Structure 1
Amino acid sequence: MKCIIVDDEPIAREGIRLLIADISQLELAGSFNNAESASNFITETPVDLIFLDINMPGVNGLEFARSIPKDTLVIFTTAYSQYALDSYELDAIGYLIKPIDPAKFRNAVNKALVYHSLLLNEEKKNIDSIEDEYIFVKSDKKYFKIKLSEILFIEGLKDYVIIQLDNQRIISRMSLKTIQNLLPTNIFFRINKSYIINMEHVDSFDNNDIFIGSYEIAIGNSYRNDFLNDFIKNRLSQ
């Protein structure tokens, strides 16, 4: 499970980093001293879990928690107990008081891992099966057979994905991350936080955008190097 730390105290960030390092199921994707930097990061790179301080300069942890995606879990890490009620209203998965007890930290993480697994399983129910050449996706109480080769791109929109075909759009309730994990990576590429493209349908591209038919899709800053390297090294050289 991919996570980040948001805390304005360097010592606190390091302490949480060490606790994360002891849990194999966690992958630390970043560490930030303010909510603004963390917000910019998760806009381009979605994460599953945030270890979040509350009292920080600028945007505080409670304000930041209200702005993050619904499927991103939060464990508050704070020196103050009076914000616990606010954390419950924000559906935080845990509330840890500094200095953080390692056993309580692990319990909170275990709870997050279980809940994250339940979220993924619920979303995957909307994908009946996936084969080498097609998938069955639930939409409007029916399952649609979709050939992978006919998918132009997939757009994530909050709790839904929009699968764009030549002459049809199919909308299904699941996260972009869920369907991305099931697609062959040699064909499909996450180009920004909201889009997965089918590389076989790319007509042209420049440093900022890719073009598929009449569609223009921006290349996210954190995805640009991987896309250009993959396209140039693995495709243009052929």
Structure 2
Amino acid sequence: MKCIIVEDEPIARKGITKMVSAISQLELLDGFNSAESAAIYLQNTEVDLIFLDINMPRINGIEFARTIPKTTLVIFTTAYSQYAVDSYELDAVDYLVKPIDTARFRKAVDKAIAYHTLLMDEENKSVEKVADDYIFVKSDRRFYKVNLADILFIEGLKDYIIIQMENSRIITRMTIKNIYEWISKEVFIRVNRSFIVNKDKIDSFDNNDIYIQKYEIAIGNVYRDEFFKTMMRCI
């Protein structure tokens, strides 16, 4: 994957460069200290992945991410955790808080590689049929039955969704808006632009986040009131 780093702090840019160089699947094309210089570069160069700082002068990372090509993936890197919800709204692959742990960095990159592979694959998976309590997902000329009760959450990224279960996940070509129209609102609730969660799988929640097993999912501002109204009826 061809990638660039957009980071105004030289030390942070050097650290991310070192982590990128340790991953053979990544090809670092260049690094930039501002969104403006990166935007000029993108006019003539195709990039698969951007490691993008948020808190930068003039044009910040959130504003810049709204302008990049749809097929370019973004991993946000920032010292400020309060931007997490904004990153979900922009279909970011992941959100890394500085100082960035090497293992956490690798996990984010693996996720980006998986998405990139799907974007390049012409024979994508698709959801073929939905019933009241299960869906069929097509993969490699086979249909896999997924019980809705087994789903922890569904995550959307551009034109794909991840159906996350306890010990497995399926990535398929479909928008999160479409899958939400198909599945039961009695069981599932949308909690931000990129996530639908199974209410029965929620272990706990606070004003900002939902916790399902090892996963932490932010509650979007637009969805917060409806989420709490729905959950209060369940208690």
Please report the TM-score for the alignment, with normalisation by the length of structure 1: 0.51
| 1:50-199 to 2 correspondences below 5 Å | 50-122=50-122
Aligned partners of 2:74 and 2:94 also within 8 Å: yes
Displacement of 1:26:
0.2
Q: Deviation of residue 122 (structure 1)?
A: 3.2
Query: CA shift at 1:124, angstroms?
Result: 8.8
What aligned pairs does 1:27-66 form with structure 2 within 5 A after superposition? 27-66=27-66
Unaligned runs of 5+ in 1: 126-238
Contact 2:118 2:124 in 1 (8 A): no
User: Using the alignment, how far apart are the partners of 1:26 and 1:123 within structure 2?
Assistant: 24
CA deviation map 1:71-120 (0-9, x unaligned): 00000000000000000000000100000000000000000000000010
Q: Which amino acid aligns with 1:89?
A: E
Query: Would you say the 8 A contact 2:3–2:29 is kept in 1?
Result: yes
Shift of 1:12: 0.3
Who is 2:7 aligned against? Answer: 7
Structure of higher CA gyration radius? 1
Give identity over the alignment, percent. 70
CA shift for structure 1 position 61: 0.1
Moved runs in structure 1, 4+ residues, more than 3 A? 122-125
User: Partner letter of residue 26 of structure 1?
Assistant: L
Whole-Å separation in 2 of the counterparts to 1:40 and 1:118: 27
Cα distance per residue 1:104-149 (max 9 Å; x no partner): 0000000000000001003899xxxxxxxxxxxxxxxxxxxxxxxx
Matches of 1:58 and 1:51 in 2, distance apart? 18
Aligned length: 126
2: CA distance between counterparts of 1:66 and 1:102?
27
Secondary structure, in 3 states, of the residue corresponding to 2:121? helix
1:144 aligned partner: none
- The one-letter code matched in structure 2 to 1:31 is G
Q: Which amino acid in structure 1 is aligned with residue 44 of structure 2?
A: E
CA contact (8 A) 2:75 2:95 kept: yes
Displacement after TM superposition at 1:42 (Å)? 1.0
Secondary structure at the aligned position of 1:55 is classed as coil
Secondary structure at the counterpart of residue 122 of structure 2:
helix
State the TM-score, normalizing by the size of structure 2: 0.52
